[in-house]
Amino acid sequence: MTTLMLHDISDNLYQKLKALAEAHRHSVNQEALSVLESALAPLDDTPKPSTQETLDWLRLEVWTLPVLDGRNPDEILGYNEHGLFD
């Protein structure tokens, strides 16, 4: 792995990074890497699926799941023939 050294970091910037690291229970180094990755992620040119494509994929995943409980929703929730919860 490559090593990156930073010089002349302002105290204010370092304190912000340190506070983020503590909040995320990371070391300052881990948090700096996380911040860099987050900042550079939008530059990734890998095409992302559209919201509709994601919803279509999720819908297909849900509909292909096996039925583990064949009861109707009222039976599962415990409603009786009068629509009241038993």
Rounded Cα gap, residues 86 and 77, in angstroms: 9
Residue 35 exposed, middle or buried by CB count within 10 Å (0-12, 13-18, 19+): middle
> pLDDT tens for residues 33-45?
999 999 988 777 7
Which pLDDT score, from 0 to 100, does residue 3 have?
92
Helix (H, G, I), strand (E, B) or coil at 33: helix
Sorted by where each begins, the domain ranges of the chain are: 11-40
Rounded distance between C-alpha atoms, residue 30 and residue 35, angstroms: 9
**Can you give the pLDDT of all 86 residues of the chain as single tens digits?**
899 999 999 999 999 999 999 999 999 999 999 999 999 887 777 788 999 999 999 999 999 999 898 888 777 887 777 877 76
Kindly report whether the global pTM for this prediction surpasses the value 0.85.
no
Maximal C-alpha separation, the chain: 74
